[in-house]
């Protein structure tokens, strides 16, 4: 299931509730215009509008509440994973390796990046990203702040749609520019770009993206389960062990 399918289903469910209501109102309004004289039509149409507006307001309120609940749940899963706290032990180890100037292997980058993310230290995350770059790799680590920003934008746009959609996605010569923009949102296509942006920075699944320079067009996605130590020790690993032994003497 795609990460924003919950929003797609919410949008479609809202349309399923509001569109029949709008169609029914339009049909009854036509009946009033065909049945009653102009002097009576105004009173009947006003009463009709009040009845259906009340029901429409109720539906909008229900879906605005559902939207808020869903956004709050997703935001909670993004919070507290990466913070400004410092893992001094890990940072010291990274500084030792960096000062030695020994390039890290792909597996070592993955291992240290995972440690940094598990520690929740944003400083350690930035440090291993710099070390990855110095080793000829591009490392993307999920960004809590960016993910929350995408969720906020998604919530804002869906909120606007729920409040403003009139129940019909059809457009004619009398449709205003603002109405046209709202009606275009009815397909939910605007969620595709937001979902892609969210997947690039979400921390809820703690996924690492490691890419070798600019040569690799489709970078492999690594998670905690597939990070393994290389068959032989790298120069960086040997250096770290030798340094550790020297400090114990």
Write down the residue that tokens 């400083």 correspond to. Answer: 123
Least-confidence region, from 54-58, 92-96, 108-112, 116-120: 116-120
Model pLDDT for residues 80-94, shown as the tens digit of each residue:
666 778 889 999 999
Q: What is the pLDDT of residue 228?
A: 36
Model pLDDT for residues 142-182, shown as the tens digit of each residue:
788 889 999 999 999 999 999 999 999 888 888 899 999 99
- Rounded Cα–Cα distance for residues 86 and 119 (Å): 8
Query: How sure is the predictor about 243, in pLDDT bands with cuts at 50, 70 and 90?
Result: low
Residues 199 and 3 sit within 8 Å (Cβ to Cβ): yes
Query: Does residue 136 sit in helix, strand or coil?
Result: coil
Model pLDDT for residues 188-241, shown as the tens digit of each residue:
999 999 999 998 888 666 556 667 765 444 443 333 232 334 445 565 666 666
Q: What is the pLDDT of residue 70?
A: 96
| DSSP code string of 165-180 | --S-----TT--HHHH
* Percentage of the chain exceeding pLDDT 90: 56
Give helix then strand counts, H and E, for the chain: 9, 3
Write down the residue that tokens 């029901």 correspond to. Answer: 55
Element of type H or E holding 212: strand 208-212
């Amino acid at each position: 299931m795609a990460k924003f399918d919950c929003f797609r289903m919410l949008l479609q469910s809202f349309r399923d509730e509001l569109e029949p209501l709008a169609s029914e109102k339009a049909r009854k309004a036509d009946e009033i215009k065909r049945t009653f004289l102009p002097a009576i039509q105004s009173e009947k149409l006003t009463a009709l509008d009040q009845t259906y507006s009340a029901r429409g307001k109720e539906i909008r309120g229900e879906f605005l509440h559902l939207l808020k609940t869903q956004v709050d749940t997703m935001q909670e899963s993004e919070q507290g994973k990466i913070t400004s706290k410092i893992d001094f032990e890990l940072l010291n180890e990274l500084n030792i390796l960096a000062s030695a100037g020994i390039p890290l292997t792909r597996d070592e980058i993955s291992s240290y990046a995972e440690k940094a993310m598990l520690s929740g230290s944003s400083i350690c995350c930035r440090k291993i990203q710099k070390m990855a770059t110095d080793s000829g790799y591009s490392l993307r680590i999920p960004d809590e702040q960016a993910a929350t920003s995408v969720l906020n934008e998604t919530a804002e746009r869906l909120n606007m749609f729920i409040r403003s959609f009139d129940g019909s996605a059809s457009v004619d010569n009398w449709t205003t520019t603002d109405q046209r923009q709202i009606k275009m949102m009815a397909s939910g296509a605007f969620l595709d770009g937001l979902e892609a942006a969210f997947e690039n920075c979400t921390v809820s699944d703690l996924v690492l993206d490691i890419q070798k320079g600019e040569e690799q067009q489709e970078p492999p996605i690594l998670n905690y389960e597939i990070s393994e130590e290389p068959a032989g020790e790298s120069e960086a690993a040997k250096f770290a062990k030798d340094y550790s032994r020297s400090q114990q003497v």
